[in-house]
Structure 1
Amino acid sequence: MQPAHLPKVRIVRLKQRSGLILARLAGAKVAKGNVIIFLDSHSEANVNWLPPLLDPIAEDKRTVVCPFIDVIDFETFEYTAQDEGARGAFDWKFSYKRLPVLPEDEKNMPKPFKSPVMAGGLFAISAEWFWELGGYDPGLQIWGGEQYELSFKIWQCGGKMVDAPCSRVGHVFRKFNPFPNPGIGDYKRKNFKRVAVVWMDEYAEFLYRLRPKYRNIDPGNLSEQKAIRERLKCKSFRWFMEEVAFDLPEKYPPIEPPDFAAGEWLSLTYYKDIRLKEWNLCMDVESGNDGEPVLLDTCHCLGGNQLWKYDV
């Protein structure tokens, strides 16, 4: 479908709800440009956002570039810029996390800097490189895990990924999922299992320790994905952890140290946050002002407004 008032725009409509991953693959298959840019629908590109994404790819087609993701408030649409930047990462439950920018990269700001893992929604990639990597794994369903699969594949198979501070795209972070489960069960667990089996080698065991049910999940046919890894002579996940995400285990240990202090409902953890047991909720204050109320918010393991000290 081609809108009359936008002659260069093509709209691809799928016959059924297929989820984010397969929808992106469908769009990529009909794209004609040398570079494919993926953006979430609930995002807004800022001024001059495109050239900083294209420049690194022009120098090296195996470089994947992510913009800085600014925040658009879910209720007011107020736009808040991200200032300091961070590198993408993950914990061993496969929750997306962030690592500090390396000191040498801070000195070179605003030049693009390497990042182990993308947030997932917004990035630019050479079309040739995307398809050489096999695109997204078509066995991944709806959404979840695709950012890890593509990030690991990019790094382990000879590419690199950078964040470009001069490219700004605002993103609406929704407070709830507006779409119900399409009736295919817990697809995210299966997605995570596929990624772990194909790309993580012996490190998948750390995921299974924290998510024991993953061991018994059938990931489906992985022959095509394993063939891609063999064809491209991709490096091991150990290489990825030692050369790319070398500081991740210090921040997000594969085996978490014991809590510093524990009560019936709350624990002071290794990350120096106070969290509700069995839930990923931490005591949080919105600012450092005296008298601020203490709230419960999602644990981010970055200290700051969730940093607590326990004196004995």
Structure 2
Amino acid sequence: MASYVFSVVIPTYNRPERLASCLLSLTRLSYPRDGFEVIVVDDGSAQPLAATVEPFEAVLNLTLLRQVNSGPAKARNAGAARAQGQYLVFTDDDCQPHPSWLNALAAQLDQQPLALVGGHTLNALPDNVFSTASQLLIDYLYDYYNSRRAPSFFASNNFAMAAEQFRQLGGFDTSFPLAAGEDREFCDRWLQHGFPMAYAPEARVDHSHHLSLRRFWRQHFNYGRGAYCFHRVRSRRAAAQVKVEPLEFYWQLLTYPLVRRFQVQGMLLSGLLLMSQVANVVGFFWERRQQKAPPASAPAAPC
């Protein structure tokens, strides 16, 4: 028998201030305090996080784990292995869930207890054009993949599922070396097993992802690397190539800021979305070259 309804798992790495903000937001949840636990998994941060989490131990059912730096996929799996909840909920250290977050997830899971339920993520840094563009891309993907058809993709900073099903699937694929692509692969594997997915837009979190031009490029370059890993893993698992999206997908992406009526910033955001796709392609082919390089060269990622 599960001790809690929900186990909230948060991987973290070298961001104690943001982790503190995330934990503070969890103290403001309207869900009954004895109905959920929080498991923070320190993915080998330079400084121990005991002092960061200690102030919250009196108000949250909180567990701190630590592992050698191995990436967010392995950190999430480590948290899930210690979880006592009926349902697992994943978010990131730079997210701040709204007070009704768990209530909204619970309402959807009451209707579809076997579903992977994804919530809605909001940009908490509207004055940062790079953060705005990055979140706008996620909004477009949710609109394209989830609102117009049966849901097929949720980001791992805001989704929940039954712990038993998560373990049945074997958790996240730890061969993904970065925070890029492992959630896409998990959702794809979930659907391949015949499990349903459901969107709960009322389950909201604010995402404080500070980006500069350089970090924006690096983020989407890494997404390209993760995309190559996803294509490689999926082709082995499903014995089929991943279909490339039609040109319409990319045209609608580039015009999405204008459709969303981002007036002054519209053209700039469209340009950044174009840059994100260029970085994605460069990262994809860079990773493919690394994977196919001879052993004497730099080691390839294990995807």
TM range, normalised to the smaller chain? 0.5 to 0.7
Do structure 1's residue 13 and structure 2's residue 66 form an aligned pair?
Answer: yes
Matched, 1:147 2:199: no
Q: Does 1:44 align with 2:96?
A: yes
The residue type paired with residue 207 of structure 2 is: H
> What is the CA distance between 1:190 and its match in structure 2?
6.1
Identity among equivalent positions (%) equals: 22
Q: 1:187 to 1:46 in 2, by over 3 A?
A: same
Which residue pairs with 1:157 in the alignment?
193
Alpha-carbon offset, residue 250 of structure 1: 7.3
- 1:188 is matched with 226
* The structure with more radius of gyration: 1
Q: Pick from 265, 274, 281 the counterpart of residue 299 of structure 1.
A: 274
Name which of 251, 258, 280 aligns with 1:271. 251
RMSD: 4.3
Matched, 1:101 2:147: yes
Q: Does 1:202 align with 2:240?
A: yes
Letter in 1 for 2:120: F
Distance of 1:129 and 1:175 partners within structure 2: 35
Higher helix share: 2
Q: Which amino acid aligns with 2:164?
A: E
Aligned counterparts of 2:225 and 2:100: Cα–Cα separation in 1: 37
Q: How far, CA to CA, are the matches of 1:50 and 1:285 in structure 2?
A: 28
Contact persistence 1:141–1:187 (CA under 8 A): no
**Structure 1, unaligned runs of 5 or more:** 90-96, 103-112, 208-247, 253-269, 276-281, 302-312
Secondary structure at the residue paired with 2:61? coil
Aligned equivalent of 1:138: 174
Match of 1:117 in 2: 153
1:60-116 per-position Cα deviation (integer Å, ceiling 9, x unaligned): 33201111111100767xxx9x9xx96746xxxxxxx844723xxxxxxxxxx8421
Question: Cα deviations across residues 235-276 of structure 1 (Å, max 9, x unaligned)?
Answer: xxxxxxxxxxxxx65743xxxxxxxxxxxxxxxxx727889x
1:71 aligns with 2:51: no
Q: Say which SS state the counterpart of residue 147 (structure 2) adopts.
A: coil
**Which one-letter code corresponds to 1:73 in the other structure?**
L
Residues 74 and 157 (structure 1 numbering): CA distance in 2 closer, same or farther, change over 3 Å? same
Seen in structure 2, the aligned counterparts of structure 1 residues 203 and 63 have a Cα distance that, compared at 3 Å, is same
Q: Which residue of 2 aligns with 1:174?
A: 210
Distance 1:285 1:54, change over 3 A: closer
- Alignment match, 1:236: none
Q: Alpha carbons of 1:293 and 1:24: their partners in 2 closer, same or farther (altered >3 Å)?
A: closer
Mapped partners of 2:239, 2:89: distance in 1: 30
What is the distance in 1 between the residues matched to 2:139 and 2:145?
A: 6
Structure 2 residue runs of 5 or longer lacking an equivalent are 1-49, 277-303
How many Å separate the matches in 2 of 1:10 and 1:158? 33
CA distance in 2, matches of 1:146, 1:40: 14
Q: Pick from 62, 74, 82 the counterpart of residue 30 of structure 1.
A: 82
CA apart distance, 1:145: 1.4
Change beyond 3 A, Cα 1:37–1:159: same
User: Does the 8 Å contact 2:114/2:162 carry over to 1?
Assistant: yes
Q: TM-score, normalised by structure 2?
A: 0.55
Deviation at 1:195, TM superposition (A): 2.8
Task: Give the TM-score normalised by the residue count of structure 1.
Answer: 0.54
Assess if the C-alpha contact under 8 Å between 1:67 and 1:165 holds in 2.
yes
